[in-house]
Chains A and B, each alone.
Chain A
Amino acid sequence: MSAALALRAEWAKFTTLRSQWITPLLAVLLTTGITAAVQAAYGRVDTSLEDDPAGGIYYGLLFGHVAVVCSGVLLVGQEYASGTVRASLAAVPRRGRFYAGKLLLGTGVGLVVGLLSVAGTHLATAATVGLDLGQPGAGRSVVAGVLYHPLLLVICLGATAMLRNLTAAMGLLTPAVFLGTTFLTALPGVREAAYFLPDRAGLYAMNYRADPAVPYGHWTGLLVMALWAAAAAWGGLVSLQRHDA
């Protein structure tokens, strides 16, 4: 009953603040739009994209997922930046309940963004270079593509709850996802560890084909990301319960 109210409060916060709902919308538009443009322009000629169909299908995600990160950061970070966190906790004083409302909303928003983005990128691919969903790995790639979004969003939401600061969370997470892990995989020695970073592992789960350099299988990649999400969610809860608001 009251947990449902906490979720309804989060939904009301989400719908009454433009930046909160524009950001996930932007994620869908960026991912779908960039995939569509790249497939239309290069899909038929660039063999590197054809090497693994996922490379072309999810090309836009490399940009769109930055907006997913922002969305997760904003859900919690704006409470701290504006100071509404105190009003929120006065309204829902059981912190676990308040946090559950945030997590549920974040997961829901992530799922919707994932479903729309995956549908959009696959439709765009079908309309441009053609799409064969009967290929081995295609079904898993769709499932992983959808789940990547709520998992990434929850990771960022939990991390922001740990940092309790909008600017710090943005400054840390956005470049980490946009640039950081790509650079890290280029460094020998660090590369092996970098494969276990959440976005790397999640993106790998979308690939149709196996990469012998990656030390785990596709489904395991999704599991690695899910473990990160669970850890971040738990860390955020502990931080919220431990600190004065």
Chain B
Amino acid sequence: MIEVRNLTKRYGATTAVAGLDFRVEPGRVTGFLGPNGAGKSTTLRMVLGLDRPTAGEALVHGRPYAALEAPLRRVGALLDAHAVHGGRTARGHLRWLAASNGLPRRRIEEVLEQVGLAEAADRRIRGFSLGMRQRLGVAAALLGDPPVLLLDEPVNGLDPEGIRWIRTLLRGLAGEGRAVLVSSHLMAEMALTADHLVVVGRGRLLADLSTEAFLAQHGRARVRVRAVDPLKLADLLRTSGTAARPVEGGAWEVSGAAPEEIGALAARHGVALYELSLLQDSLEEAFMRMTADAVEYRAVAA
């Protein structure tokens, strides 16, 4: 549905995107991941024909975006929720978009309803919260009922409720057979939303794999466990053959096991536990390791 081939963009001395190759397939959510300045937004702008590539090409439905007739019926995009005129109402903003591609007026009402802005439709965008602006941006992307969606950091600035809403929406859209590309710099969020991951750093492709594969490689859950008697626990973990390592405070981290197993094991051997928890931050850590060499601006450790 979207094909990016050797896509390259240089701004003077800065290389924002360096020979990127990937595809966005229908029926799944593709997470486009990378730290700040990795070139995600630049890539999306090139896909939409807004920025001209220095080399390479991006094809949508096998053609350059600019060659599409009524492009909003083929591709829906949310680039920047702030790029709207505050003086227009939500309905007014969608009206000119609909007019530009000959979309029926009822689509305006449908998408306003779908994103939950029906009540605010005739209010000026100037008074919208960031969350409402993101919803309006999503409404604009959905206006032409397109089979391809490109969303640049749609969860930026959303509260947990809004984040869950976006996640459910994207999963639903992919479930209908659409190709969904969504950029983010939050690995943990993408692990929940995306079926496939394209990871970039400094404009280069770092990984292109299914979320499942990524989780299998990097996301093995660790269990943190602490016992009344640390020595007894250490003995138990050693003899049971689990991959455990001691961490500070007399606690242990066990990888490759579920909390249920560790709890049952401790109970069988009469080891009383103080603490038993699942650690999920390993995804973010794996992402940071993967992109560490590619981070553009980094706080220098003192």
Contacts and interface: CB of A to CB of B under 8 A. Distances in A.
Does B bind A?
Answer: yes
Contacts of B165: none
A86 interface: yes
B83 A87 contact: yes
Interface stretch (B85-93, B179-187, B233-241): B85-93
A83 B49 CA distance: 16
A195 B120 CA distance: 53
18 contacts: A5-B100, A5-B101, A6-B100, A11-B99, A12-B96, A12-B99, A12-B100, A16-B96, A17-B92, A82-B86, A83-B80, A86-B79, A87-B79, A87-B97, A90-B48, A93-B49, A93-B66, A244-B52
Given A6-B100, A83-B83, A90 B68 contact: no
User: Which among B50, B83, B88, B100 has the greatest number of chain A C-beta atoms within 10 A?
Assistant: B100
B88 A16 contact: yes
Contacts of B98: 12
B96 A90 contact: no
Interface string A15-35: 011110000000000000000
Interface in B170-191: none
B140 interface: yes
Given A83-B82, A84-B83, A244-B50, A91 B97 contact: yes
Contacts of B123: none
A93 B83 contact: no
Contact of A17 (B51, B82, B88): B88
Nearest to B68: A93
Nearest to A9: B100
Contacts of B121: none
Contacts of B100: 5-6, 8-9, 12, 88, 91-92
B71 interface: yes
A9 B85 contact: no
Chain A to chain B: the 6 pairs with minimum beta-carbon distance, closest first: A83-B83, A16-B92, A9-B100, A12-B96, A91-B100, A93-B66
B85 A84 contact: yes
- The B interface is mostly helix, strand or loop, or mixed, namely loop
A78 interface: yes
Interface in A48-99: 78, 82-84, 86-94
Interface residues of A, number: 28
Contacts of B52: 244
A12 B85 contact: no
Contacts of B140: 87
B69 interface: yes
B85 A86 contact: no
A91 B71 contact: yes
B65 interface: yes
A13 interface: yes
A93 B95 CA distance: 18
A220 interface: no
B188 to A, nearest CB: 29
